[in-house]
């Protein structure tokens, strides 16, 4: 009876190890690729994004952008958080972001803001991360 329990535990341990190896390998190989390409770690970073009207002078709204997780190699996911006060009552809209960062520090990502304030917005962002990795400059295209 004890032999059966030991065999079952060893088998279970082997199955868990086999299941974890691909995830560990993907994470490690992605990290190596990012290091070799000199791509900075942008995970858990938070940015302020300013949307201007067509004159590029008048501020429309400010969003907070949070990059939360690497998907693979140079692709990431995150979210945008917009606070909007249509009638003096503050409402937060949270929308998903998915994108890539390249060795030349260009970041391209898409966003989908469902039902903002009355309809959904979908767009693309193209920005360049500064050498310090503290600031991003670019445009939101919707």
Domain range summary for the chain, segments of one domain joined by +? 1-36, 45-141
* CA 119 vs CA 31, 112, 114, 115: distances in Å: 38, 11, 7, 4
Give the E-state strand segments of 53-104 in sequence order: 59-72, 75-84, 91-101
Global model pTM greater than 0.75: no
pLDDT in tens, 69-120: 888 778 899 998 887 776 778 878 888 889 998 888 888 888 877 665 566 6
What gap in Å lies between CA 57 and CA 36, rounded to an integer? 39
- The sign of the CA dihedral 7, 9, 10, 11 is positive
pLDDT mean over 24-30: 71
- The more confident residue out of 60 and 142 is 60
Q: Are 74 and 102 in contact (CB under 8 A)?
A: yes
Task: Please check whether residue 120 is in contact with residue 114, taking contact to mean a CB–CB distance below 8 angstroms.
Answer: yes
Most confident of 5-19, 32-46, 69-83: 69-83
């Amino acid at each position: 009876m004890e032999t059966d329990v030991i065999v079952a535990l060893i088998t279970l341990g082997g199955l868990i190890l086999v299941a974890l190896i691909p995830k560990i390998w993907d994470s490690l190989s992605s990290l190596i690729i990012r290091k070799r390409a000199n791509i900075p770690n942008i995970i858990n970073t938070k940015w302020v994004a300013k949307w201007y009207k067509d004159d590029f002078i008048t501020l429309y709204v400010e969003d907070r952008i949070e990059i939360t997780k690497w998907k693979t190699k140079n692709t990431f996911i995150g979210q945008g958080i917009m606070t909007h006060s249509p009638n003096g009552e503050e409402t937060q809209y949270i929308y998903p972001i998915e994108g890539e960062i390249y060795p030349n520090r260009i970041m391209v990502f898409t966003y989908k803001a469902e039902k903002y304030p009355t309809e959904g917005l979908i767009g693309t962002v193209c920005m360049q991360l500064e050498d310090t990795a503290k600031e991003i400059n670019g445009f939101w295209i919707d």
